Amino acid sequence: MSETITSILEEHRSFEPPLGHSGSIASLDAYQALCAEFTEDSDASWGRLANKHLNWNKPFTEVLNRQHAPFFRWFEDGKLNLSENCLDRHIANGLGERNAIIWESEAGLVRHISYNALLADVCRAANAMSALGIEAGDRVIIYMPMIPEAAIAMLACSRIGAIHSVVFGAFSAQALRDRIEDTAARLIITADGGARRGAIHALKPNVDEALSKGCASIEHVLIVNHAGNNVDMRAGRDLDWHDALKAQPDQRPPLSVDSEHPLFILYTSGSTGKPKGILHSTAGYLLWARLTMLWTFDFRAESDVFWCTADVGWITGHTYSVYGPLACGGTTVMYEGVPTYPDPGRLWKLCADHAVTIFYTAPTAIRALIKAGDTWPEQHDLSKLRVLGTVGEPINPEAWMWYRDVIGQGRCPIVDTWWQTETGGHMITPLPFATATKPGSATLPLPGIDAAVVDEYGNEIKKGSGDGGLLVLRQPWPSMLRGIWGDDQRYIDTYWHKFNGSYYFAGDGARCDEDGYFWIMGRVDDVLNVSGHRLGTMEIESALVSHAGVAEAAVVGRPHDIKGEAICAFVTMKKTIDDSMATALAAELRAHVSKEIGAIAKPDDIRFADNLPKTRSGKIMRRLLRDIAAGRDIVSDTSTLEDQSVVQQLQQRR
């Protein structure tokens, strides 16, 4: 642990929250009062909030069932439907003509979709899925670009109780196949392609390739004709989305499901093995999606325009591009393209054009846009912005300051939100009108969230001691993962084993300062965070080793000023190679990883070696590799190294 948690950031700036506001939690006192309510009786507090914020078809009588811990069950005997809570409910309140989604394509095409129109399409899609035999509990893979149909497909699944699993559109055919096989999905919803940097990124060929081997569970593929790309249609299996929807009525009663009915599976990387299918269920997830919109962003559905730039392929896109804003009856912005197309002013132009009031993005995007220069944001009217958020990785104080000064013009509070795919929604974050912020700190846990920094034995580390430790959550919360799809034991081993079932272990290192503020210090396991994307080193190593010429591979991260971390692979080939072959071979290996996982997993550096540095017992010395990758002096102890000459060779070959 100590190797990862070394640098202690010294940061003393602090910014008071704007005053005179009547936000959802409008003062530190209000925050503390709410926290105290939870300390007093957390079940009663959660129960009160669940009754207040969700529409129930059958009310629950028990808030939390801990009997099968760590398989917790929330609001167990209640019944509801998620799409009804996100759509019908607001329409019944007279909001049918409000914009639910404002979508813009990379080319600049804009669509406004009202709640009425969204519900009609969701019903048609739900009917179309039923017509294909999809029933409650069946899994549906969604492999789409950032287009409204992705949200429609997700909501349509929830309307009939089907479980969606969104696969990020830039993942490879192989990654898609792994997810199809693990979920045993019956249906794939995809598109002919999506826009990326002015070109069309095709999706259907990947689906065809995935289905060419195994994947026997898939019966149908629905294809949204979006990009005007030619698509091979396999008779009997492939259907056009628009044709299928046109044939269906625009009404469909929502299926009332149990609170714990599975809502979605989303794959994320861990330190070992294949990505794990994180399972989320209905009521608790929806409650937290809605509450965190109100608390963290002070979201006001009647006047705010909310834009979270994340793709629906990630948890942030699930909770804050789709479910959170819609659960509140608000307006969410979706953008299909890349942030720097046609120029680095694109995000700021979108904010101005759609009068965005709350903007939520990743530090990596902020860092890239800082590099592009202040003239880009200066060209656009950002005066409507009132809250700015970041997520996905630690934000360096200088990027935080730029975000505050240049984008927020000193006026907008910054909310640095710490959470994970597994937590469903925010856990540690400032409240924009209650919490004083410090650049680089996610500040305090939300009410109801019992976060702590502990040592290896689970003892809390004294606040303000300056020592780092492990971040844990000591009480269950409604939007927590319900397990790993098909692998209960892995769920227990990964998250609960370390502290004997009593704490949830997040996998992050952190430190708590004298004010109780959390400073997240990054992963303590073999998980990399590349541009806010989570990647397992072992996954990349397996991809490399699956290349016929590779004997062994070790992957580590190294600091990168825009991506946060870059991927560095140390590779030994089965046959000896000379330097003249290295460049071509490295390119081949990078392409191979891209094919196995996706372009986001491509190593930035590949270094060939005759041997990897190992201890006498055969363990790869990753610490040493991290030093070499970063170009640092070797700080780790190399006395146990079997072959000392390896280090020199690795340092030379870069």
Q: Check binding of 392 to ligand WT7 (CB under 6 A).
A: yes
Say whether residue 418 binds ligand WT7 (CB under 6 A).
yes
Task: Write out the binding residues for ligand WT7, residues 580-619 only, by CB under 6 A.
Answer: none
With respect to ligand WT7, which residue has the nearer C-beta, 404 or 534?
A: 534
SS (H, E, C) 374-386: CHHHHCCCCCCCC
Under the binding rule (CB under 6 A), the answer on residue 523 touching ligand WT7 is yes
Stretch that binds ligand WT7, among 517-525, 567-575, 603-611, 628-636 (CB under 6 A): 517-525
Burial of 371 (0-12, 13-18, 19+ CB in 10 A): exposed
449 lies in the binding site for ligand WT7 (CB under 6 A): no
Q: How far apart are CA 197 and CA 178, in angstroms?
A: 28
Q: Which of 313, 330, 377, 394: binder of ligand WT7 (CB under 6 A)?
A: 394
Is residue 441 a contact point for ligand WT7 (CB under 6 A)? no
The yes or no reply on residue 534 touching ligand WT7 (CB under 6 A) is yes
Largest CA distance in the chain: 74
Window contacting ligand WT7 (CB under 6 A); options: 168-176, 207-215, 413-421, 571-579: 413-421
Cα 170–Cα 171–Cα 176 angle in degrees, nearest 5: 140
Q: What dihedral angle (degrees, nearest 10) is formed by the CA atoms of 629, 630, 635, 636?
A: -30
339: its two tokens? 């942030």
Tell me if 507 contacts ligand WT7 by CB under 6 A: yes
Q: Where are the beta strands (DSSP E) in 349-487?
A: 358-361, 387-391, 414-417, 451-454, 469-473, 483-484
| Chain center to CA of 517 | 23
Exposure pattern of 160-197 as b/e (b: 16+ CB <10 Å)? bbbbbbbbbbbbbbbbbbbbbbbbebbbbbbbbbbbbe
295-334: contacts with ligand WT7 (CB under 6 A): 315-316
Separation of alpha carbons 295 and 35, rounded Å:
13
Interface with ligand WT7 by CB under 6 A: which range of 51-59, 84-92, 414-422, 592-600?
Answer: 414-422
- Which residues touch 644 (CB under 8 Å, ≥6 apart)? 638
Q: Does 508 bind ligand WT7 (CB under 6 A)?
A: yes
Provide the 10 A C-beta neighbour count for residue 496.
Answer: 17
CA dist., res. 81 & res. 477, Å (int): 20
CA-to-CA distance for 65 and 43, rounded, in angstroms?
Answer: 10
> Of the listed pieces 347-355, 515-523, 554-562, 581-589, which binds ligand WT7 according to CB under 6 A?
515-523
Verify binding: residue 477, ligand WT7, rule CB under 6 A: no
Least Cβ distance, residue 214 to ligand WT7 (angstroms): 27
Q: Tell me whether residue 89 or residue 276 sits nearer to ligand WT7 (CB atom).
A: 276
Which of 304, 336, 416, 539 touches ligand WT7 (CB under 6 A)?
A: 416
- Taking CB under 6 A as the criterion, which residues in 53-112 touch ligand WT7? none
The nearest distance, CB 417 to ligand WT7, in angstroms, is 5
Identify which range of 66-74, 168-176, 202-210, 390-398 contacts ligand WT7 by CB under 6 A: 390-398
Tokens of 202: 């095709």
In whole angstroms, the minimum distance from the beta carbon of 493 to ligand WT7 comes to 17
Contact 593, 543 (CB under 8 A): yes
Is residue 419 at the binding interface for ligand WT7, with CB under 6 A as the rule? Answer: yes
Chain centroid to CA 566: how far?
18
> Binding string to ligand WT7 for residues 268 to 297, with x set by CB under 6 A, is what?
x-----------------------------
Q: With contacts defined by CB under 6 A, how many residues of the chain interact with ligand WT7?
A: 22
Q: Which of 258, 336, 393, 539 touches ligand WT7 (CB under 6 A)?
A: 393
Rule CB under 6 A: which residues touch ligand WT7?
Answer: 268, 315-316, 391-394, 416-421, 442, 506-508, 520, 522-523, 529, 534
